[in-house]
Structure 1
Amino acid sequence: MVWNLPNTLTATRILLIPFFVGFSYLPGRWGFLLSAIFFSLAAITDWADGYIARKQKLLTQFGRFFDPVADKLLVISALVLLVASQRAPFLPVLIILAREVTVMALRERLAGLGQRLPVSTTGKWKTGFQMTAIIMLLVQEGLWDIPFQWPGLLCLYISAALTIVSGYRYFRDSWPKLQTGN
């Protein structure tokens, strides 16, 4: 297996998860601020590894498999943390988590059939709102006395709505392939 920068960024994203979760347990405002910083670094690696891999044609089997796994681990960890710390409501988080796991399973099934499920524009917007929501809700007390809770919740609900739309589209577009088994 060839190891490259995108693979390193994917592995780094997974390694950052315990840090951003752990920092959230520090007392006071600084714990969640450090958590948001480490989550932001992990989110940047999500964008960077894909960009670099496509631009420099560094696509690998490791990246194809572990990039979405790293993304799901990051998002699931963050959303569970936000619900547990009462920074996010359960229902939109449940919708997002259910879609993430279901679409990941769909991608795996299609891969077993030799098919791919490309990321949609709606899915990219969903991810953007989702990452923004998580960062804002981690620092919801605000920086420089600017509160982020309400904008963070708005982004979370927008992300949940886009989650439903993109999930529906993925299944609609994949249904014929699943029915024929090829």
Structure 2
Amino acid sequence: MNLANRITIARIFLVPVVILFLLLRYNFWTVTINQQTTTGSEMIAAFVFIVAASTDGLDGYIARKRKLITNFGTFLDPLADKLLISAVLISMVEMHRLSAWIAILIISREFAVTGLRLVAAAEGIVLAASRLAKWKTLTQIIAMVALMLNNFPFSYVGFPFDRCMVYIMVLLTVWSGVEYFVKNKHVMEANR
């Protein structure tokens, strides 16, 4: 197994670590601002999440630079991303920091685009991530970190950064999903 694929697998193994720290909410230290508390375990979860999310770009860079692109990696990389984001979205619903409809919308978009990619792959077509999809991923990561930290440090000044990022995340998620299907309608038409 090549280095890029090992990094992708490591990202998958970090998912339960993030969730463990998020849902345990162990209070070995806390920060409370304006009646919003962020625990030490949530801060650790956010840090591990950032590390895991940053490996997405790293494994892709290594695979391209060293010409290590494999079918296994092509399949596993987006799966790892979806597992990480979906697990945190569901955890945020569990922690009452995110409405369920938002998590359902985002996870549904991810499944729909993955389905489209699988249909395209069966036809020998590779659907590369668009620039908008990359922005969507970035806003998802920022929104998830803001939610995990319960809007810390923005709660010091009373600015709802976490809510703003959630709205931007929803907008870009829907927009990029529609873009995938509009730009690749030929894939769907060929398989009717």
Task: Name the SS for the 1:153 alignment partner.
Answer: helix
The separation in 1 between residues aligned to 2:123 and 2:158, in whole angstroms, is 44
Aligned residues: 180
TM-score normalized by the length of structure 2: 0.87
Relative to structure 2, which stretch is displaced further, 123-132 or 17-26? 17-26
Using CA pairs below 8 Å that are at least 6 residues apart, which structure has the higher relative contact order? 2
1:100 and 2:110 matched: yes
- The 5 A counterparts of 1:116-135 are 116-135=126-145
Report what 1:66 is aligned to.
Answer: 76
Distance 1:176 1:145, change over 3 A: closer
Matched, 1:18 2:16: yes
The gaps in structure 2 that reach 5 residues or longer are 28-38
> Secondary structure, in 3 states, of the residue corresponding to 1:136?
helix
* Misfit runs of 4+, over 6 Å: none
Does 1:76 find its partner at 2:75? no
Larger Rg, first or second structure (1 or 2): 2
Q: Note the alpha carbon deviations across 1:92-126, whole angstroms, 9 max, x for none.
A: 22221110111011111111111111100110000
- Correspondent of 1:50 among 48, 52, 60: 60
Q: Cα distance 1:141–1:153, how it changes in 2: closer, same or farther (>3 A)?
A: closer
CA distance in 2: counterparts of 1:157 and 1:64, whole angstroms: 30
CA–CA separation in structure 2 for the residues paired with 1:161 and 1:58:
34
Using the TM superposition, name which of 33-42 and 23-32 deviates more.
23-32
Q: CA deviation at 1:5?
A: 1.5
Q: What TM-score do the two structures reach when normalised by structure 1?
A: 0.91
Separation in structure 2 between the aligned mates of residue 66 and residue 81 of structure 1, nearest angstrom = 22
Q: Of residues 136, 144, 162 in structure 1, which corresponds to 2:146?
A: 136
**Structure 1: runs of 5 or more not aligned:** none
What percent identity do the matched residue pairs reach?
35
